Structure 1
Amino acid sequence: MVYQYARLGAKILITARRENRLKEVVAKAMSLGAQEAHYVAGDMGKAEDCERTIQTAKEKFGRLDYLVLNHAGSSFGPISERVTKLQTWDEDLDMDFYVDFINVNMISYVRLASLALPLLKESSGHITVMGSLGGKMTFPYFTYMSTAKFGLDGFFSSLRVEMMKTNKNVTVTYAVIGFVATEGSVKMVKKLPDGEKMLESAAPVNETAQAIIRGGAIRAREIYVPSYTWLISKIRQLPDWLEDYIVLNL
């Protein structure tokens, strides 16, 4: 997404934990046409790093038009391991990991948005939230992810209507994302039965990034990538017995 914004000539601030990687991304963003590109090396699971990120955006740009919330922290590795082993919740009751996971994947999203709201209200800005198909329906082996993504949908949908009701003119897009061919996702899926076949349905990374940015630009309430996520997200509206049958046989 950084590279897509760069091609549009945006001023960009990114954050992650690996400073060397951030430097590489910033350099490439500038080569692609970004007006400015800056970074904050930090851990979004820490309140002080969230605060430093938004403060840096204010200092560098004096305003904020788009806030894109899209981080997963150190949790991806343990989660992918649970999925590939097909572990159910009762087989690995790690509450410390659960609390940390929710902090990184839900609480920090809320914290960043809350810190950014004063700037976004000044610019009539927009928030794009990286959700998931796992935030619209339940899947086995995804208890951790479903908690965070359902929570994000609930919070940011409520925030959206609050902004509308009080005429704050800050809009929110929730991105319902399915299987995208990122490096981490591909590695995880290859370990699953019929994983190679599953890769055929993966959405390309660049096309996904473009769809997310387009959805934010037109201030869509929700976007669905790949397109099949729209249909699958409606399964919960079916009778219970049919929903259970479909989910258990996916």
Structure 2
Amino acid sequence: MDFNFENELKNKIALVTGGSKGAGKAIADRLFKAGATVIITARNKPQEENENIHFIAADLSKPEGTQKVVDEVIEKFGRLDILINNLGGSETPAGGFAVLSDEDWETSFQTNLLAPVRLDRGFLPGMINRHEGVIIHIASIQAKLPLYDSTLPYAAAKAALVNYSKSLSNEVASKGVRVLTVSPGWIMTTSSVRMMERIAKSTGGTMAEAEKGVMDALGGIPFGRAARPEEVAELVGFLVSPRAAYLTGTEYVIDGGTIPTL
């Protein structure tokens, strides 16, 4: 098979949640460069607007937010071919289980698990009717290496997302839809910086100490640094392309060797 890498997603319509910054922005840019019509969602407009990428303002942690996105995409574009469930994050306080409220847990699960579930439910029927489509769930290595002091609800939600993603792939593979999981390790984004700031504030330490603490908690990164958003985007770009047509139901870890086991 011959592929035109630079135009391999021509005529495809892609949605990237949390696509205004960090890895989400890098993924959106990567899919656009491959020829896709790209839609992004976030609660606020991106600081650097790209007139070539369509933006939908929505709070996906709420059911009405996900429904708004589904309705607008179908109304304006008629269908969706590629769904990148990238939205995620942790805003819970550091300090372990004792400082976490029900609201902390519920917020983490709404954002990191239920938002993807609702979007999948909204777009899958159309993909199944056309017998084609790709869904990528962006999880995290914290599904396997939870940081109990700072991101326990996030880690639990991502573990649930990995399990859900595998189950969903088994259900819809025979119906023409591929479902995959990408689990990054530490990515150097603004969210990562905010997490370190919260840890530093909680412990009374410095940012450098917080960064070292995260590295130590992860057991170190053999590659010697956090991932760049563009590196994660390149993996996603491959997985949604025709070159990956036989891949489904698999979790792809991109962590610079952080996880110490197979």
What does residue range 183-202 of structure 1 map to in structure 2 within 5 Å? 183-189=190-196, 191=207, 193=209, 195=211, 198=215, 200-202=224-226
Q: 1:52 aligns with which of 57, 68, 91?
A: 68
Deviation at residue 215 of structure 1 after TM alignment? 2.4
Say which SS state the counterpart of residue 175 (structure 2) adopts.
coil
Matched residues in 2 for 1:25 and 1:172: separation?
A: 29
* Aligned equivalent of 1:153: 162
* Aligned equivalent of 1:136: 144
* Aligned equivalent of 2:135: 127
* Aligned equivalent of 1:6: 32
Structure 2 alignment gaps of length 5 or more:
1-26, 198-206, 216-220
Q: Check 1:54–1:26 CA distance in 2 against 1; reply closer, same or farther (3 A cut).
A: farther
> Which structure's residues are more often helix, by fraction?
1
Matched residues in 2 for 1:62 and 1:207: separation?
A: 31
1:162-209 per-position Cα deviation (integer Å, ceiling 9, x unaligned): 113xx2111111111101111221453472627269594211121221
Check whether the contact 1:13–1:38 (CA below 8 A) recurs between aligned residues. yes
Letter of the 1:208 partner, please give it: V
Deviation at residue 233 of structure 1 after TM alignment? 5.6
Letter of the 1:50 partner, please give it: T
Matched residues in 2 for 1:154 and 1:50: separation?
A: 21
Q: 2:188 aligns with which of 181, 187, 190?
A: 181
Check whether the contact 1:208–1:225 (CA below 8 A) recurs between aligned residues. yes
Deviation at residue 136 of structure 1 after TM alignment? 2.7
Deviation at residue 232 of structure 1 after TM alignment? 3.2
* Aligned equivalent of 1:116: 123
Letter of the 1:58 partner, please give it: I
Q: Check 1:56–1:152 CA distance in 2 against 1; reply closer, same or farther (3 A cut).
A: same
Q: Does residue 251 of structure 2 align to residue 222 of structure 1?
A: yes
* Aligned equivalent of 2:16: none
Name which structure has the greater RCO, CA cutoff 8 Å, separation 6+.
Answer: 2
Q: Deviation above 4 Å: which 4+ runs of structure 1?
A: 196-200
Matched residues in 1 for 2:209 and 2:235: separation?
A: 30
State the TM-score, normalizing by the size of structure 2.
0.73
Say which SS state the counterpart of residue 135 (structure 2) adopts.
strand
Check whether the contact 1:63–1:123 (CA below 8 A) recurs between aligned residues. no
> Aligned-pair RMSD on alpha carbons?
2.3
* Aligned equivalent of 1:70: 86
Check whether the contact 1:26–1:39 (CA below 8 A) recurs between aligned residues. no
Check whether the contact 1:42–1:49 (CA below 8 A) recurs between aligned residues. yes
Deviation at residue 152 of structure 1 after TM alignment? 0.4
1:219-239 per-position Cα deviation (integer Å, ceiling 9, x unaligned): 45222213415x4363xxxxx
Matched residues in 2 for 1:226 and 1:120: separation?
A: 31
Deviation at residue 99 of structure 1 after TM alignment? 1.1
Deviation at residue 54 of structure 1 after TM alignment? 1.5
Matched residues in 2 for 1:138 and 1:233: separation?
A: 15
Q: Does residue 127 of structure 2 align to residue 98 of structure 1?
A: no
Say which SS state the counterpart of residue 162 (structure 1) adopts.
helix
Check whether the contact 2:81–2:134 (CA below 8 A) recurs between aligned residues. yes
Q: 1:171 aligns with which of 178, 181, 200?
A: 178
Matched residues in 1 for 2:261 and 2:75: separation?
A: 40
1:82-112 per-position Cα deviation (integer Å, ceiling 9, x unaligned): 2xxxx1112x031112112211211111011
Check whether the contact 1:212–1:223 (CA below 8 A) recurs between aligned residues. no
